[in-house]
Amino acid sequence: MILKKSGVTCLDSLCTVVLFPVVCNFAFKHVGRRMMQIAERAKSLAPEQYGSRKDHRAIDLAVNKTLTSNILHQLKRTGAICSNNTKSCYNLIGHTQASLAMQQVGVPKSFVDCLFTTLQQGVHKVHTWYGDSEATYSGTDILIPIHGIYQGNGVGPAIWAVVSSPLLELMHSKGFGFLLFAPVSKTEIRFVGYAFVDDTDLIQILDASKTSEQVWQELQRASDTREAALSSTCGAIAPEKTHWCLIDFTWHNGYWRYKTNEECPGSLHAFYIHADRKQLKHIPVSKAAETLGVHLAANSDTSAQMLHLETKVREWVDKMKAGVLTRQEMWVALQSTIWRTLLYPLPATNLSKKQCKKIMSILLQFALPTLGICHSFP
């Protein structure tokens, strides 16, 4: 079991990783690659699903989310977005549902049987700092086989891609999502949200005649549909990691402005896997939430992302000051660590040149002298 977040050691906050035999996991990965190639050629994967796919990056999905917010701002359209996290997505995949999804994209039944027989009858030991446990457990010891794909399974990401795609297609068939037309090509674009592995943002935008109340009620129906679809695969939404935002506008003193939560109230609910229906957190449009490693707010406010990058730079500088690196090592550290952290969110943000210079000044004041470069050199 490994930490998901630094310093958080509660058992329900840890990630359980299964270490398969090397040859076994190599075979799983091979089938996963072949399955994804076949699925891509057949176009059987939902376009909203960016996770586990070749030539699909998380930052591209964050850019799409930013562009959607910009379009709503330009058109002054009412919309609602629900950012939900799937509860232990790999560990809650039913084997029957996964088997059907894999065979649908062409995986032979013989391999499917081999894969799930291995998972159900495998003998598990718990690996700790003090060594492996003497006690073991296995699906053969209980009447109902253990389901789930397990974190660490080489074919796990591919299985989730083929299992989650029909769920997103179901949302399409129910008419949920956002329909728009490209202004130049007149191409019709319809999507129900943004999905990267288990992180899925549902979006609901109706025509301009609809009120904010009608929009969030439609989002509730969309959320209920996704929750029911997830339960059919043995999955569930994690309400404690889910929030939603209602976007609406009002004309005030000659200017358009975003409405506050008080001006357009609403409530969204979801079922917890072992509890009653819970109300989801309703965040204002001005509050940024971390999405795919980028702090995005519905009103395009970049202050949270700015603060995050400044904090990352200061932490990096403090850690570098505590060590002793040569100039060559410092250059490698600069290029491969903090520089990548600063570059990643830029496509999805609209930081100004002044803001970027402020962030870089903190970094360069330390890094340039350490590299043997005059810090005042233009």
Q: Are residues 244 and 365 in the same domain?
A: no
Looking at residue 273, what is its pLDDT? 67
Residue 262, CB half-sphere, CA atoms under 13 Å: how many? 0
Q: Are residues 148 and 230 in the same domain?
A: yes
Looking at residue 274, what is its pLDDT? 63
pLDDT tens for the 378 residues of the chain, in order:
788 777 788 877 788 888 999 999 999 999 999 999 999 999 999 999 998 898 899 999 999 999 999 999 998 999 999 988 887 788 889 999 999 999 998 889 998 999 999 999 888 888 888 888 888 888 777 777 888 889 889 999 999 999 999 999 999 999 999 988 888 998 998 999 999 988 889 999 888 788 888 998 999 999 999 988 988 888 888 887 889 999 999 998 889 999 998 988 888 888 876 667 888 899 999 999 888 889 999 998 999 999 999 999 999 999 999 888 899 999 999 999 999 999 999 999 989 999 999 999 999 999 999 998 887 777
In a domain, 375, yes or no: no
For the range 223-231, what are the long-range contacts, defined as Cβ-Cβ under 8 Å and sequence gap of 24 or more? 223/82, 223/84, 223/268, 223/270, 225/170, 225/171, 225/174, 225/176, 226/84, 226/167, 226/171, 226/200, 226/202, 227/270, 227/271, 229/167, 229/170, 229/171, 230/86, 230/167
Looking at residue 15, what is its pLDDT? 81
Name the DSSP class of 260. P
Retrieve residue 162's tokens.
């083929």
Looking at residue 275, what is its pLDDT? 64
Q: Partners of 290 in the beta sheet? A: 295
Please tell me the total count of domains within the chain.
Answer: 2
Q: Partners of 257 in the beta sheet? A: 250
Given 247, 276, 296, which residue is the final one in a domain? 296
Looking at residue 307, what is its pLDDT? 95
Looking at residue 374, what is its pLDDT? 84
Looking at residue 247, what is its pLDDT? 93
Q: How far apart are CA 110 and CA 98, in angstroms?
A: 14
Given 272, 296, 320, which residue is the final one in a domain? 296
In a domain, 180, yes or no: yes
In a domain, 377, yes or no: no
- Structural domain including 100 reads 2-296
Q: Are residues 365 and 226 in the same domain?
A: no
Looking at residue 258, what is its pLDDT? 93
Q: How far apart are CA 243 and CA 282, in angstroms?
A: 6
